[in-house]
Amino acid sequence: MKPNSNLKTYSLKDMEYYKIYGRTDETQYPLPLFFNGSGIEVNVTGSELWIDIDVDYDMHEPWIFTRLNNSFMSRQMLMSGSYSLCLFRSMSPDTVKNMKFFRELQAMSEDDSCHILIRGFRTDGFFLPVSNKKYKLEFIGDSITSGEGTYGAKEDTDWLAMYMGVSRNYALMVSDALDAEFRLVSQGGWGVLCGWDNDPRHNIPSRYEKICGLAGGKMNESLGASKPYRFESWKPDAIIVNLGTNDASAFNQPEWTNPETGETFKQHKNPDGSFDPDDLNRFKQAVIDFLTMLRRNNPDSHIVWVYGMLGYDLTLAITDAMNSYKNATKDNNVAFLHLPNTTDETVGSHAHPGEKSHARAAKVLTEYLKAYLEA
């Protein structure tokens, strides 16, 4: 498909009206989309709209999805190269269309080449201001928040980029329901203390204070991923932390050995199946430390720790840690919320929560946040 000859090219650096979603370095051109849920929103007239992008990857191809007038419109895999994607065409030229373009795939810590860059747009219309949302919400998590399992059949067990998506994610569902702008920081397999396989390097707090500490390599560094994140630039009304699932898995996995240093790490269980108390306390301290970090960087945000979409193993440990944090700091602007567990009827691909499970979780979280934010 070729764009019509009446289209005018608009470089993002020269455009006045658009809204950026997700953490990024807004001084960069082209604009990098690091996280799942990162993207751009425009209001535009005209019959046709194209977006100009640069894409690359080594192992995990990035996916995107689009929404036209707040309705899901498309989802697709992107190939490497610099090219244009048609977002709509043959529409009534005088009406104003709201178009959102989002990255589906999480920041890929395993693929330093994986990136999507936005150069600008081409259209035969003109751009208008984009309105602000009522609230700002930040979601922090693991594969659940990355939307792993929201696409694909139950029997699909491969770990693939195409099975991940924010378009069927509880975070987007909640944000839609509350008229909120959202940002996501998530990585499949990672935890508060360690990853699912006991790898202590794979903890979200160690990367949280960078723009995108999950994206490595020279390319991502040149795009600003390793810069300190300016928390004052975007202040969330609420921060939703959905971590602990992989920390629970680590207690059932073999010891991890660092291939470079020989260092080992292991969360242990006792012979009777209970958690080793020292290791459990180590996890609790990681929760306390992360809450402390979150509050230091977000002094006014309500922090709600949600848990349970893939089991309740560490519920008591999380709530104990939160109570210890509150008692020590007198910070009562934090809360814990159970989310419904995934069932045979709501499971998706790769034994992860499916769309129905995300919808159930979103309903509970929306009701809670609505009551809090509107109080």
Q: pLDDT tens for residues 9-48?
A: 999 999 999 999 999 999 999 999 999 999 999 999 999 9
pLDDT tier at 330 (50, 70, 90 boundaries)? Answer: very high
CB atoms near residue 300 (< 10 Å): 9
pLDDT tier at 216 (50, 70, 90 boundaries)? Answer: very high
DSSP 107: P
The secondary element (H helix, E strand) that includes residue 54 is: strand 49-56
pLDDT surpasses 90 at 338: yes
| CATH number of the domain within which 322 lies | 3.40.50.1110
- Taking CA atoms, 291 is separated from 13, 31, 307, 324, 363, in Å, by 37, 31, 15, 11, 25
In a domain, 168, yes or no: yes
Query: Residues 147, 294: one domain?
Result: yes
The secondary element (H helix, E strand) that includes residue 372 is: helix 355-373
pLDDT surpasses 70 at 2: no
Distance of alpha carbon 354 from its chain centroid, rounded? Answer: 16
pLDDT at 4: 75
pLDDT at 291: 99
Query: Residues 30, 166: one domain?
Result: no
Query: Residues 100, 227: one domain?
Result: no
Hey, what long-range contacts does 152-161 have (CB within 8 A, 24 or more apart)? Answer: 152/348, 152/349, 152/350, 153/349, 154/347, 154/348, 154/349, 154/354, 155/349, 156/349, 156/350, 157/349, 157/350, 157/351, 158/350, 159/188, 159/350, 161/60, 161/61, 161/62, 161/63, 161/77, 161/105
Q: Using the 3D structure, point to which of 128, 160, 176 is the last residue of a domain.
A: 128
What does the alpha-carbon distance between residue 298 and residue 131 come to, in Å, rounded to a whole number?
24
Q: Using the 3D structure, point to which of 82, 100, 128 is the last residue of a domain.
A: 128
pLDDT tier at 5 (50, 70, 90 boundaries)? Answer: confident
Query: Residues 36, 121: one domain?
Result: yes
Query: Residues 45, 165: one domain?
Result: no
pLDDT at 55: 98
Query: Residues 218, 122: one domain?
Result: no
pLDDT surpasses 90 at 6: no
Average pLDDT over residues 102-124: 96
Average pLDDT over residues 79-93: 97
Average pLDDT over residues 325-338: 98
pLDDT more than 90, % of the chain = 98
Contacts of 271 (CB under 8 A, 6+ apart): none
CB atoms near residue 14 (< 10 Å): 9
pLDDT surpasses 90 at 350: yes
In a domain, 1, yes or no: no
In a domain, 3, yes or no: no
- Taking CA atoms, 110 is separated from 146, 262, 292, 315, in Å, by 15, 21, 28, 30
Q: Quick one: which of 196, 345, 195 has its CA closest to 204?
A: 195
Q: Using the 3D structure, point to which of 84, 102, 128 is the last residue of a domain.
A: 128
Query: Residues 109, 198: one domain?
Result: no
Contact call for residues 279 and 271 (beta carbons, < 8 A): no
Tell me the pTM.
0.97
pLDDT at 228: 98
Query: Residues 112, 247: one domain?
Result: no
Average pLDDT over residues 240-266: 97
Domain enclosing residue 319, as ranges? 135-373
Please state the domain count of the chain.
2
Query: Residues 229, 341: one domain?
Result: yes
What is the tens place of the pLDDT at every residue in 129-154? 999 999 999 999 999 999 999 999 99
Average pLDDT over residues 167-178: 98
